[in-house]
Amino acid sequence: MSGGKRERVAPPPIGDEWDVKFGKSEVKRGWDELCRTATNNARKAFDLLRTDPCPALETTRHHRLKGSMKSITFDGQSYPLWQYEVTSGGRIWYCVNDAKRVVWLIHAGPGHPKSTE
C-alpha cells in the first residue's frame, strides 16, 4: 500500500461529483484516524466535499480560512484554503482545483491542527 499522497479518497466520483484526493501522504493517516473517531461526521464531511466544496453560504463549521491561513500554494498555484469542522477539534483543511474538479485534502485529523495554535 502506498503512502497516500495523490491517492483518491475512495470511492470514485460519479456524475458531477468532485474528486477528493489526499494532497500529502500524512493526510491519509489523519483521515483514517478521523474516520475511526468520528465516523458519521467524517462521512457527512466527505459527502459535502463531493457535492459542494465551496459553498456560497459559509457556516461556522464550513468556511474559508482567514489571515495568514487564507491561502496555500499547492502544485505551484495559490488556492484559497477551506476548513470543515468535523468535530469540536477535528478538522479538514482543503483547497479546490476548479478546472480539474478536484478537492485536495491538505490536513485531516481528530485534533486541532498545530499550525493554528
pTM across the whole model = 0.88
What number is the average pLDDT over the span 74-84?
96
Q: Which residues are CB-contacts of 36 (< 8 A; sequence separation ≥ 6)?
A: none
* pLDDT surpassing 60 at residue 100: yes
The pLDDT tens digits for 7-65 are: 777 788 999 999 999 998 899 999 999 999 999 999 999 999 999 999 999 999 999 99
The pLDDT tens digits for 86-96 are: 999 999 999 99
The pLDDT tens digits for 61-77 are: 999 999 999 999 999 99
The confidence score (pLDDT) of residue 21 equals: 95
